[in-house]
Structure 1
Amino acid sequence: MTSNSDPNSLKGKSVLVTGATGEIGQAIVAACLKSGASVFANARDEDKLAPLLDSWAGKVVPLIYDVTDEKAVKEQFRQIQKMQMQSDIGPLHGLVNNAGVMFEAPITVSSMDKLKEQLNINFLAPYQHMQLACRLMARQRKGSIVNVLSQVGELGSSGMSAYASSKAALKGATVSLAKELAPVGIRVNGVAPGFIDTAMTRHYDQERRDIVLQRIVMKRAGTPADVAKAVSFLLSNQSAYTTGHILPVDGAFCP
């Protein structure tokens, strides 16, 4: 059986990771590289991607584009289609829709612009990426798509209805496409992180942080590496009989 920590579990394959410059994105890229994959790393800011390229010299293919720019996304997939035939890159095996944004606000003062921004980045952009990726994967009748969801989208949270809605929409697409794409050998799963120690949660003051931690059975925040390990498992052959599954990475959060 192939382990998700096996340095050869993704050897000869390529994986596209969106939002590669964030802390979770960097951890996912590292996990894929350690499993032997070539990684197409997406970012809007080339300078922010530079440290990742320096750390993994020659093993990461940078893709600089805005995930919400439909024309740019199409062009990048045309480039991926050309590059994936290179022997040192390999066919597109995985897509990790990791790019995301979160704004907190009660519904009474929620900005429609912020709602649309979250829907565009958290749902519409991943949907287009899945549409284009599955066309490439279907040719080899094999592939794995992993969407980074959220326990907020699973359970809801006061003051986060817009964000929860965008992630819940992506969950609906995840479980539906798992059924639609299974006949052509493509698996579609999601990971639903809980309270993860990243820039998205560090603005919490200590009192608010303690309240959240008290509701987590494991009594600690998660790490980007915790999320990356779950993503790596779902990309690998170790999860070959798993599709349409949403894997919580939340330390057993109690609503």
Structure 2
Amino acid sequence: MAFPYSGSILQGHSVLVTGATGGIGRAIVSNLAQSGATVFAGGRNKVALDSLVEEVAGKVVPVDYDVTDENAVKEVFRTIQARQSDPDVGNFVGLVNNAGEMKEAGLVASNMELLRLQMSVNFYAAYQHMQLASRLMVRHRKGAIVNVVSQIGEQGGAGLSAYSASKAALTGATKSLAKELAPFGIRVNAVAPGFISTPMTAHYTQLQRDDVYSRVALKQSGTPQQVADAVLFLLDQCAGYTTGHVLPVDGLFQA
């Protein structure tokens, strides 16, 4: 964690993070566990989840499921609901929709399968998670949701129209649900990363990276930790008067 949080409202409560085993997901889980929360870490790779539990200091509960499986998602929330009475878990107060799919393809070369995949993971799954999470949060009229969107979704990107559309849809839902859920004490925000050094961007050649950096004011890529710190800020009391906001973590990126 890059900066200290005293008296965290997450301490003694529980949070669900999807896409927990990726570069950004692991950093988010670590931050939240260090803040004192019990973190339900969601992912499809059981080996990677077990490794995450061993790696992170704090309370991490691995949850092996596919975010696009509606019945599996419902079962996860039933488990979280049942465990809220556990003294070491506490009330469910946070959701981080971090699971994502990015498939690069120009319009002519793309197909409906690629579009459906990205919409299913990046938007439909996130929407169902927000629906079920809000039902738990509304019971004690407190909670925060953070969606990991993208600067590509905010600005567009050649060859990434399907990915951009799926993330833009999540941005729109973020802003609308912030208004809808505010009366119940639930805040909804998003972080919009730019070019972050993760396994998802590991295939970029140096030439491609230089092209990206030429469009970033800070002339470098971001880190998963920087994204995770932004997520923690939006979940915690430091952002208690912030909702419906999309926070760029992009070094001032121009697509």
* CA contact 1:8–1:35 (8 Å) conserved in 2: no
Matched residue, 1:240: 240
SS of 1:140's equivalent in the other structure is: coil
Matched residue, 1:19: 19
Matched residue, 2:62: 62
* CA contact 1:4–1:35 (8 Å) conserved in 2: no
Give the distance between the partners of 2:210 and 2:174, measured in 1 at CA.
32
Matched residue, 1:195: 195
SS of 2:15's equivalent in the other structure is: strand
State the number of aligned residues: 253
Matched residue, 2:5: 6
Matches within 5 A, 1:58-207: 59-207=59-207
* CA contact 2:15–2:38 (8 Å) conserved in 1: yes
* CA contact 1:4–1:233 (8 Å) conserved in 2: no
Superposed displacement of residue 93, structure 1: 0.6
Superposed displacement of residue 8, structure 1: 4.2
Give the distance between the partners of 1:251 and 1:243, measured in 2 at CA.
22
Superposed displacement of residue 56, structure 1: 3.3
AA of the residue aligned to 1:185: G
AA of the residue aligned to 2:21: T
SS of 1:107's equivalent in the other structure is: coil
Give the distance between the partners of 2:205 and 2:169, measured in 1 at CA.
30
Give the distance between the partners of 1:29 and 1:4, measured in 2 at CA.
16
AA of the residue aligned to 2:224: P
For structure 1, which runs of at least 5 residues remain unmatched after alignment?
A: none
AA of the residue aligned to 1:151: Q
Give the distance between the partners of 1:5 and 1:161, measured in 2 at CA.
39
SS of 1:220's equivalent in the other structure is: coil
* CA contact 1:11–1:35 (8 Å) conserved in 2: yes
* CA contact 1:97–1:147 (8 Å) conserved in 2: yes
Is 1:225 the counterpart of 2:210? The answer is no
Task: Give identity over the alignment, percent.
Answer: 60
Matched residue, 2:210: 210
Residue by residue over 1:11-48, the C-alpha shift from the partner in whole angstroms, topping out at 9 and shown as x without a partner, is: 11111000100010000000101111110000111111
AA of the residue aligned to 2:135: R
AA of the residue aligned to 1:12: G
Residue by residue over 1:188-225, the C-alpha shift from the partner in whole angstroms, topping out at 9 and shown as x without a partner, is: 00000000001111211111110111111111100000
Give the distance between the partners of 2:83 and 2:28, measured in 1 at CA.
21
Superposed displacement of residue 58, structure 1: 6.6
SS of 1:31's equivalent in the other structure is: helix
* CA contact 2:14–2:94 (8 Å) conserved in 1: yes
AA of the residue aligned to 1:71: N
Give the TM-score normalised by the residue count of structure 1. Answer: 0.97
RMSD: 1.3
AA of the residue aligned to 2:15: V
* CA contact 1:146–1:231 (8 Å) conserved in 2: yes
AA of the residue aligned to 1:205: T
* CA contact 2:43–2:65 (8 Å) conserved in 1: yes
Give the distance between the partners of 1:89 and 1:175, measured in 2 at CA.
29
Give the TM-score normalised by the residue count of structure 2. Answer: 0.97
Q: CA 1:204–1:53 in 2, change beyond 3 Å: closer, same or farther?
A: same
For structure 2, which runs of at least 5 residues remain unmatched after alignment?
A: none
Give the distance between the partners of 1:57 and 1:167, measured in 2 at CA.
31
Give the distance between the partners of 1:241 and 1:151, measured in 2 at CA.
23
